[in-house]
Amino acid sequence: MKKKISPRFAALLLASLVARAGEFYVGPTGRDTNPGTRALPFASLETAREAARQAVGSTVWLAPGTYRLTNTFTLEGRDAHTTYRGVNASISGGITIPAAAVKPVPDAAVLQRLLPEVRGRVFEIDVRSLGVTDFGGIGPRGFGHPYLPAPVELFVDDEPLALAQWPKRGQRGEPIGQVLDEGTNHLARGERPHGGTFKYATARPARWTQAEEVWITGFFCNGYADDTLKVKAFDVTNKTLTTVQRHWYGFNSGKPWNRWFALNLLEEIAEPGEYAADPKTGKLYFLPPVGKDPAQCRLEISALQVPLVAIRGATNVVFDGIDFECSRGMGVYIEGGASNRIQNAKLHNLGELAVCMGLAVDLDRKTMAPAGGPWRTSGDPLFNRNAGTSHGIVHCQIFNTGAGGISLGGGDRRSLTAAGNFVEHCELHHFNRWDRTYRGAVNMDGVGNIVRHCLIHDCPGVAIYLHGNEHLIEYNEIHHAIMEGDDMGAFYMGRDPTERGTIIRYNYWHDLAPAHATHCLYFDDSGGDSAQVYGNIFRKAGSLSTVNINGGSDIVVTNNVFIECKKPIRMGHGGNEWRTKQGRFEALIKNTSCDKTPWRERYPELLTYLADRPQMPRGNLFAKNVLANCAATPAAGFELRDNMSVSNEPSLQGAGIAGFAPIPFERIGVQQNREDGTLRAKP
C-alpha cells in the first residue's frame, strides 16, 4: 500500500519543481514521494500532472508498462501545452486476473448445464472476489438506444473473448417466426411500452431453462436497425419468445435478415474463445482460445465505465505513443479547447468509442453527457457539441472497440464556423463488437471537419456516418463495410436539406455492401444536397447501387472511376415523403435562419427551397465518369454528360475523357508518419 502524501509535503515538492525544466517521469515501479526524475519516477499520472502544472510546456514520460485507472484521468485549461509521451506504455481500465483465480469449473450443477464436449475444459473466474461487483449491461443497445458501456469483458493476451451465443458467429441467425405481438414501436402514443412476442421453430431453447439472463440480438424489423433486448420468457412448449423491451420499429418476420441470436448462455459455450457472465454468482465462465493455457497467459477483465482520459477546455495537450485499452467505456473524451492531439497510439479493447470529440446527447433522458454521439435533439438541429477546434487523431490504430471508432464533432452550424478537427493517417477496423449499425469508424457532425488518409475496413455497418456542413473526406481507402443488413450505405447522411457542402474526393471504395439493398454512398431522403463527389475510385461497391441519391438535389458526381459496379448511380424517391411529412423540413430550414448572414450567402437555394419542392429532385449532375464493366446508368433524375463506358481496366491518368483530371491513387490511404506525428523515444 502506497503512503499518502501530506498536503504540506506536496506543496513543498511542487514548489521545488517549478525551477525544473518541465520534464517528468512516471514508472510502474515508481513512488509518488519521488521527485519524478528518470532515476526516481513518480508512480501515478495524477502526481505527474500536478508537477507538470508548475511549468508551462512540460513533458511527462511514461516508462514501459501498464498504468491502470479506477477513475477518469482529467486534464483542464491549466494543463495546456503539456505532452505525455510513452514507449510501450498503455493506460488501462482493466484488472489483471491472477493465475490462482482461474480454476476449472468444480460445481456439478454448472457442469451439467455445459455441453458434454466442453465439460472439464471450461474455466471459471470469481470476479466478485477481485472487487468487481457491477457486471454492467449487455443491453438494451443498438438502433434508437443511447450509447451504453459494455458489460464486463474478458481478454486473453490482449484479444477479447466472445460472449457465448447461439447460433454461432458466421452462421445465419434463427428466423423470427409468426409475430404474435410486435410490441410498441417508437411511434406509439399513450401506450405503455412493452416487448414483443414471436414464435420460433427450433427446439434449442429447451436447453436454456436454467439461464437467468438471456439476451437476443439481430435485425428484428428493418435491416438497418440492429437491437439487443433482454428475454422475458421462453415458452418451450408453445415455442414462443417474449422480450422485456420494445424494438424501435416493432417485431416483424419474413425478410432474410429478420433473425435472432441468443447471447450470454452458459449452455452454449462451445467454441474456443467464448465466455458467459453470471451476475448472480459473480462469476465468468470461459473456454480458452486455441493454443492458450490460462496459467501461461495474460488475463484481464474490463472494469472502468467512464472515459480513460478526459481533456476539457485545454489547449495543445498531446498524448504521443501511449495506448488506451481494456475498458468498458471510451478511450478519450475531448470537450472545448484547441489543438489537442492523440497520436502514434493503439486504442483497442474498449467497450464504446475510441475517441469522442464534443458533448453527446442522450436521447432517452434528453440530456447531454460525455458518452457517445453525435445524436441531436429534433428541437435543436443546430446543437453545438462544444468540441473545440483543430484537434487531431493522427497515426493511430483503432480496433476491437464496441460501438464505433471516433465521434468527430466540432464547429458551429448557427454561424457556419468550421472546427477543423481531423482524423488523419489512422487505421480503423473491427469497431462494432457490441453495436453494429450507425456506430461508424467516424461519426461526423458540426461544420468543417476532416477524415483524411485513413484505412477503414471490416465492419458490419456504416464506415462514415455524417451530419452537418462542409466536411471533407479525402484520400481514404474503405473496404468490407456494410457486410450485414439492408438499406444502408458505407457512407450515410440524410433527412436534412440544410446539411450541405460536403466534399468526398480521392477515396478508394471497394468490396462493399455485397447483399440486399445496400450502397456505397447513400444520400438519404433529400439529404446531402450540394455534396461534391469527384476523383474517387469505386470497385465492387454496393449491391443495389454505388451512389444512391434518394430524392436529393444539386449533388455533383464527376471525374470518378466505377469498376464492376452493378449500378453506378441511382435516384430514389424517398425524399418526397420527407419533404412533405409533418413539417419536418420547414422546421429545419426555419431553425437555420437561412435568410440571414452567413446562410443566405453560402446557401441561397435554401431561400426558395420550400416553394421549389414540387420541382425536386433537381440539379443533380453525373458527368465525366468512367464506367468499366458496369451496368448501364439510368437517365432519370440526372443530367448525364461526357461519361464513358469501357470493358477493360481504365486508366486513372486520363481515362480517355477530355478534361478528366488524373486521380492520385498513390496518395490514397495511410502515409508514412509526418514529422510532427513521429514518436520520439527518450534515450
Please report the pLDDT score of residue 616 as a whole number. 84
Please report the pLDDT score of residue 635 as a whole number. 65
DSSP assignment of 135-188 equals -----SEETTS--------EEETTEEPEEPEESPTTSPPEEP--EEE----TT-
User: Is 156:302 a contact under the CB 8 Å cutoff?
Assistant: no
Residue 205 has pLDDT above 50, yes or no: yes
Instruction: List Cα–Cα distances, 454 to 195, 218, 365, 672, in angstroms.
Output: 41, 29, 34, 12
| Rounded CA separation 141/226 (Å) | 8
Range scoring the smallest mean pLDDT among 7-21, 218-232, 441-455, 540-554:
7-21
Cis peptide before 28 (omega within 30 of 0): no
User: Is 610:498 a contact under the CB 8 Å cutoff?
Assistant: no
Cβ-Cβ contacts under 8 Å for 461 (sequence gap 6 or more): 224, 226, 432, 436, 437, 438, 439, 440, 481, 482, 484, 485, 488
- Residues 659-664: what's their mean pLDDT? 95
Q: What sign does the dihedral 271-275-278-284 (CA atoms) show?
A: positive
Range scoring the smallest mean pLDDT among 179-188, 373-382, 491-500, 559-568:
373-382
- Residues 269-282: what's their mean pLDDT? 96
What is the dihedral angle through the alpha carbons of 300, 302, 303, 306, rounded to the nearest 10 degrees?
140
- Residues 571-596: what's their mean pLDDT? 79
Q: What sign does the dihedral 399-401-404-406 (CA atoms) show?
A: negative
User: Is 239:199 a contact under the CB 8 Å cutoff?
Assistant: yes
- Residues 479-497: what's their mean pLDDT? 95
- Residues 470-476: what's their mean pLDDT? 98
pLDDT confidence of 369, banded at 50, 70, 90? very low
Percent of residues, the chain, with pLDDT higher than 90: 80
| Rounded CA separation 208/113 (Å) | 8
Range scoring the smallest mean pLDDT among 9-18, 274-283, 454-463:
9-18
- Residues 289-299: what's their mean pLDDT? 95
Q: Report phi then psi at 590, rounded to 5.
A: -60, -40
| Rounded CA separation 45/280 (Å) | 35
Look at the chain and count its residues: 683
Strand, helix or coil for residue 250: coil
User: Is 388:334 a contact under the CB 8 Å cutoff?
Assistant: yes
pLDDT digits (tens, 9 = 90+) for 121-171: 999 999 999 999 999 999 999 998 888 999 999 999 999 999 999 999 999
Instruction: List Cα–Cα distances, 479 to 172, 371, 398, 603, in angstroms.
Output: 22, 28, 16, 33
Residue 577 has pLDDT above 80, yes or no: no
Cell of 372: 457517445
Cell of 263: 447471447
Please report the pLDDT score of residue 190 as a whole number. 67
Residue 365 has pLDDT above 50, yes or no: no
Range scoring the smallest mean pLDDT among 347-356, 414-423, 638-647:
638-647
- Residues 45-62: what's their mean pLDDT? 96
Cell of 87: 514507449
pLDDT digits (tens, 9 = 90+) for 251-266: 999 999 999 999 999 9
Residue 20 has pLDDT above 70, yes or no: no
What mean pLDDT, rounded, does the chain reach? 90
Residue 660 has pLDDT above 80, yes or no: yes
User: Is 94:155 a contact under the CB 8 Å cutoff?
Assistant: yes
| Rounded CA separation 613/605 (Å) | 11
Residue 363 has pLDDT above 70, yes or no: no
| Rounded CA separation 186/297 (Å) | 46
Please report the pLDDT score of residue 186 as a whole number. 80
Range scoring the smallest mean pLDDT among 286-290, 514-518, 575-579, 589-593:
575-579
Percent of residues, the chain, with pLDDT higher than 70: 90
Please report the pLDDT score of residue 479 as a whole number. 98
- Residues 581-607: what's their mean pLDDT? 88
